[in-house]
């Protein structure tokens, strides 16, 4: 007689029901990179739950796996094993086009190196996510650039802006599609402490005003105290929350 194997998904009865206000969940997430023939495990079974509207910091030393975890939660890097649920949807079970749509509609990104396109002006950079989503976003882009204090710099190229100003453009860009969740990887890492501080203050107040969820990677434990909650990573594992 044929023995029926249980479906591994339904057999995972150790997964408790999600809290109602949960926006992202990671279940047993593993990430491995191969360098030559040697696999390096960077995330080793991460479980976490992010609640709607919270400001969460992911902390830990350099090499702990913070960026890898952020990218995995943000739909940018598929885990080798495990699941990421966004509003209950299993993100990486979707096809590439659906994943791209979800990212464009629900997520905003701010990176350490700003990632502005050098040949586009501030306002054109802010408009990129809106154009991808085929939305008209000019009014929203102008409003956001005003809000980040760059109303008079809209037609400047990135090279004509300071690092802090470039990061403000990137913050405006991350919000142009009204995302539910904002992900930021060391957003002040390339800024001096004064402009870093003001960029962070701006990011926090925008997230509060617009009732968004914020997930920030930092190795700065002082900065991490300014959020609602922090999760500590070490060697690819959650070691404290």
Please report, as ranges, the residues that interact with Mg ion according to CB under 5 A. 67
Integer Cα distance of 99 and 34 in angstroms: 25
Contact present, 99 and 92 (Cβ < 8 Å)? yes
Q: Closest distance between ligand ADP and the C-beta of residue 26, in Å? A: 14
Q: Which is nearer to ligand ADP, 4 or 35 (CB)?
A: 35
**67 scored as a contact of ligand ADP (CB under 6 A):** yes
**42 scored as a contact of ligand ADP (CB under 6 A):** yes
Q: Dihedral of CA 107/112/118/120: which sign?
A: positive
Q: Closest distance between ligand ADP and the C-beta of residue 153, in Å? A: 31
**79 scored as a contact of ligand ADP (CB under 6 A):** no
**68 scored as a contact of ligand ADP (CB under 6 A):** yes
The CB-side HSE value for 141 (13 A sphere, CA atoms) comes to 21
Q: How many residues bind ligand ADP (CB under 6 A)?
A: 12
Q: Which is nearer to ligand ADP, 60 or 164 (CB)?
A: 60
Q: Which is nearer to Mg ion, 67 or 213 (CB)?
A: 67
Pairing state between β 81-86 and 22-35: antiparallel
Per-residue CA distances from 96 to 91, 101, 105, 126, 178 (Å): 10, 9, 14, 24, 22
Q: Which is nearer to Mg ion, 156 or 219 (CB)?
A: 219
Q: Closest distance between Mg ion and the C-beta of residue 150, in Å? A: 27
Nearest C-alpha neighbor of 57 from the set 199, 176, 200, 172: 200
Nearest C-alpha neighbor of 216 from the set 109, 117, 129: 109
Q: Closest distance between ligand ADP and the C-beta of residue 240, in Å? A: 15
Integer Cα distance of 230 and 195 in angstroms: 23
- Residue 26: contacted member of ligand ADP, Mg ion, none (CB under 5 to 8 Å, by partner type): none
- Residues near ligand ADP, by CB under 6 A: 33, 35, 40, 42, 60, 62-68
């Amino acid at each position: 007689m044929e023995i029926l194997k249980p479906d591994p998904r339904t057999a995972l009865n150790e997964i408790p029901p999600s809290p109602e206000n949960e926006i992202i969940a990671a279940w047993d997430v593993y990430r491995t990179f191969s360098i030559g023939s040697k696999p390096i495990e960077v995330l080793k079974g991460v479980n976490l739950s992010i609640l709607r509207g919270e400001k969460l910091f992911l902390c830990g030393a350099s090499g702990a796996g913070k960026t890898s975890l952020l990218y995995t939660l943000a739909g940018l890097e598929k885990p080798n094993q495990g699941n990421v649920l966004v509003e209950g949807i299993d993100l990486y079970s979707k096809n590439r086009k659906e994943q791209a749509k979800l990212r464009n509609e629900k997520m905003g990104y701010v990176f350490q190196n700003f990632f502005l396109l050098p040949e586009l002006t501030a306002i054109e950079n802010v408009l990129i996510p809106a154009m991808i989503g085929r939305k008209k976003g000019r009014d929203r882009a102008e409003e956001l650039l005003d809000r980040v204090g760059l109303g008079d710099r809209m037609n400047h190229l990135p090279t004509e802006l300071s690092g802090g100003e470039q990061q403000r453009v990137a913050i405006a860009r991350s919000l142009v599609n009204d995302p539910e969740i904002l992900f930021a990887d060391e957003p002040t890492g390339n800024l001096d402490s004064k402009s870093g501080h003001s960029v962070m203050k701006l990011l926090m107040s925008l997230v509060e005003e617009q009732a968004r969820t914020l997930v920030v990677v930092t190795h700065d434990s002082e900065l991490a105290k300014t959020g609602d909650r922090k999760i500590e990573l070490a060697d690819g594992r959650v070691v404290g929350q």
